[in-house]
Amino acid sequence: MTRGTLRSVLILGATSDIAAAIARQYAALHYDLVLAAREPGRLSKLAGELEAAHGVGIRICRVDVLEMDGHTAFIDALAPLPDITICAVGLLEPQASLIANPVRTRLMMETNYLAPALLLAEIAERMEARGSGTIVGISSVAGDRGRASNFIYGSAKAGFSTFLSGMRARLSRTPVRVITVKPGFVATRMTADLRTPAFLTAQPDEVARAIVRAVRGGRDVIYVRPLWRLVMAVVGLVPEMIFKKIRF
């Protein structure tokens, strides 16, 4: 990987549609990339495309965030630690398939909260010791309030958002930044079976551009489509007596 300047981005969960869009955005800005995923073989085509188009250095790594005992070794092997870490790790399944399946429920919770939180916490410590760095965690508006239709996924994202918020507060007097991204609906393979309103549904490139702007700017929490901030503020004001009767 070329190291003329310290301009490098680590993307966790790099096989997702959103992650690929982020990689394209940063490659176009001439950042070196570290693409990390559980199935690194799926990243070869993307890496070749970006190397040919932009001449950036790209490294492909295997990481399964659920293998939590391996986090330290993974971070050690990165050397040097990239300037920006973006966590696009996530798992979404129909809640109906989870209610009677505690194994899948645990997997949902660990994938969306526990495992990425532990990995990012260790990366944050390394960045703090180095004296620089930015962490971006992709969470969800589903974590803003538990809904009957997806409270398992939402509870994990709520935990992840709270974790990012707390880590941001802890690191606020250091040069390390922590950014929370709440995309709302995004048109990806993961949501292909869902019917979502067009005016609230972002494209992966839109999410990627919002992340680049957030890293450059000073915002801590971003809703990719600003309307989501208003929507979730209204949802948060609905009294519990009424909210629990709403099926959405």
pLDDT of 247 higher than 90: no
What pLDDT, on a 0 to 100 scale, did the predictor assign at position 197?
Answer: 75
Residue 113 lies in a domain: yes
Burial class (CB in 10 A: 0-12, 13-18, 19+), 247: exposed
What pLDDT, on a 0 to 100 scale, did the predictor assign at position 192?
Answer: 65
Residue identified by tokens 């693409």 is 35
User: Is the distance from CB of 81 to CB of 75 less than 8 angstroms?
Assistant: yes
pLDDT of 205 higher than 50: yes
Alpha carbon separation from 216 to 26, 111, 136, 243 (Å, rounded): 12, 28, 12, 38
Amino acid at 50: L
Number of helices (H), then strands (E), in the chain: 9, 9
Task: Report the range of poorest mean pLDDT among 31-35, 102-106, 146-150, 221-225.
Answer: 146-150
Under the banding of pLDDT at 50, 70 and 90, the label for residue 51 is: very high
What pLDDT, on a 0 to 100 scale, did the predictor assign at position 165?
Answer: 98
d(CA 90, CA 198) in angstroms, rounded, equals: 22
Number of compact structural domains in the chain: 1
Burial class (CB in 10 A: 0-12, 13-18, 19+), 70: middle
Residue 1 lies in a domain: no
What pLDDT, on a 0 to 100 scale, did the predictor assign at position 28?
Answer: 96
Element holding 58 (H helix, E strand): strand 58-62
Residue 165 lies in a domain: yes
Amino acid at 71: H
Residue 175 lies in a domain: yes
Alpha carbon separation from 24 to 46, 145, 178 (Å, rounded): 9, 32, 22
pLDDT of 172 higher than 60: yes
What pLDDT, on a 0 to 100 scale, did the predictor assign at position 4?
Answer: 38
Residue 123 lies in a domain: yes
Residue 81 DSSP symbol:
P
User: Is the distance from CB of 227 to CB of 141 less than 8 angstroms?
Assistant: no
CATH code of the domain in which 164 resides: 3.40.50.720
Residue 137 lies in a domain: yes
d(CA 28, CA 86) in angstroms, rounded, equals: 16
- What would the pLDDT profile of 6-33 be if each residue is shown by its tens digit? 599 999 999 999 999 999 999 999 999 9
Under the banding of pLDDT at 50, 70 and 90, the label for residue 2 is: very low
What pLDDT, on a 0 to 100 scale, did the predictor assign at position 195?
Answer: 75
- What would the pLDDT profile of 113-160 be if each residue is shown by its tens digit? 999 999 999 999 999 999 999 999 999 999 999 998 899 999 999 999
User: Which two structure tokens, joined as six digits, stand for 45?
Assistant: 């085509």
Give the torsion through C-alpha atoms of 53, 74, 108, 200, to 10 deg.
Answer: -30
CA–chain centroid gap for 232, Å, is 19
Residue 248 lies in a domain: no
**Sign of the torsion angle spanned by Cα atoms 192, 197, 207, 70:** negative
What pLDDT, on a 0 to 100 scale, did the predictor assign at position 5?
Answer: 45
What pLDDT, on a 0 to 100 scale, did the predictor assign at position 3?
Answer: 38
- What would the pLDDT profile of 82-99 be if each residue is shown by its tens digit? 999 999 999 988 888 888
Better-scored residue on pLDDT, 97 or 57: 57
d(CA 5, CA 230) in angstroms, rounded, equals: 40
Domain containing 118 equals 8-243
d(CA 196, CA 236) in angstroms, rounded, equals: 20
pTM: 0.93
Q: Average model confidence (pLDDT) for the chain?
A: 93
Task: Report the range of poorest mean pLDDT among 88-97, 103-112, 182-191, 212-221.
Answer: 182-191
User: Is the distance from CB of 188 to CB of 16 less than 8 angstroms?
Assistant: yes
Residue 118 lies in a domain: yes
